Amino acid sequence: MTVVGPFGLSVQDRDLTRDVQAGMEAVEAALIEAVKSDVPFITVTASHLIEAGGKRFRPLLVMLAAQFGDPTAPGVVPSAVVVELTHLATLYHDDVMDEAPVRRGAPSANSRWDNSVAILTGDFLFSRASQVLSDLGTEAVRIQSDAFERLVTGQILETAGPRPEDDPLRHYLDVISGKTGSLIAVACRFGSLMAGAERWIVDLLTQYGERIGTAFQLADDVLDIASDGHESGKTPGTDLREGVPTLPVLMLRQTPADPDDPEDVRLRELLDTDLAADDAAHAEALRLLRRHPALERARRETLRYAEEARALLDTLPDCPAKAALQELCDTVAIRTM
């Protein structure tokens, strides 16, 4: 058994291991080349997050999806580079919007330099992604542009927040679908499309990517409350402290308060305060939310998306890549326990 990629994904087939590792190494080398500029300072800023590491989840999905065609086809690695460059560019912009001081264990670009440098570096990465994309054909350009529109729309929806007439939970799921699901869906689409897989397989894997991407984001929401920080890689209750309404809190808000349950009443009172300003209140809210039925409902909703993703794979031909994609669904379940 060989561990490949993020989340400890195990690949037991020797040929698949070889193909995936070779593809991932080629992507890494191509990323380093793609961010080089004639201006040394730009090379430094654009290399910042690549050197910080990362899961490379999207390129991994490209490589696995390519197994349903010819994984050595010339467009496979460049398409993975396009998806990862796009993802990295959004991280530079996200850190500015969130005023994040740290990214992947290193100072964020906006804190190391300033917001202007971070924004412009993100723009530079978008431009380099477009250059690579231009060699992949008009269909690839259309797919990427559609996904990019969804990604930006998701970010705008998150920034604007739900309207009074909107269901906050539905709004949140729409945000995740745009911000996260869209690009992960493209990773699966590009991998299978560039490898020459049959169209029905391309379409099915695209749907799988959308659902597994959403499931992983929802799993992060659960981990933010339930974990001790080692699994999620960040301090527990970070979203709670910052007042970000993620799945467990939205599940709680969706149900009427129970006046006979003092913990439920107290938790709702705490959620209406500024938890960032009071460490004791934050710790109490985190403790109460961990015991609240809303957390279990959030787990079940996360598992529903993972099971939908798994079900989509049923009609695919049996092969090691299918087993690896199924294992990613299992990983979601493990992460939410």
pLDDT score at 150: 95
Residue 189 is assigned to a structural domain of this protein: yes
How far apart (Å, rounded) are the C-alpha atoms in residues 131 and 133? 5
What mean pLDDT comes out for the span 116-139?
91
Span 128-149, mean pLDDT?
95
Q: Is the pLDDT of residue 301 over 50?
A: yes
Average pLDDT, the chain: 88
pLDDT, greater one: 68 or 103: 68
| Residue 232 confidence (pLDDT) | 45
Average pLDDT for 254-265: 92
* Residue numbers of the domain that contains 61: 18-197
Q: Which of 197, 225, 245 is the last residue of a domain?
A: 197
- Decide if pLDDT at 244 tops 50: yes
pLDDT tens digit string along 50-59? 777 778 999 9
Q: What confidence tier does 102 reach under pLDDT thresholds 50, 70, 90?
A: low
147 and 290 assigned to the same domain: no
Task: Check if the beta carbon of residue 87 is closer than 8 Å to that of residue 54.
Answer: no
Residue 1 — pLDDT band, cuts 50, 70, 90?
very low
In contact, 13 and 20? CB cutoff 8 Å:
no
Output phi, psi for 10, to 5 deg. Answer: -100, 130
pTM of the model: 0.89
Tell me the CATH number at 78: 1.10.600.10
188 and 220 fall within a common domain = no
Give the DSSP per-residue string, 281-298.
HHHHHHHHHHHSHHHHHH
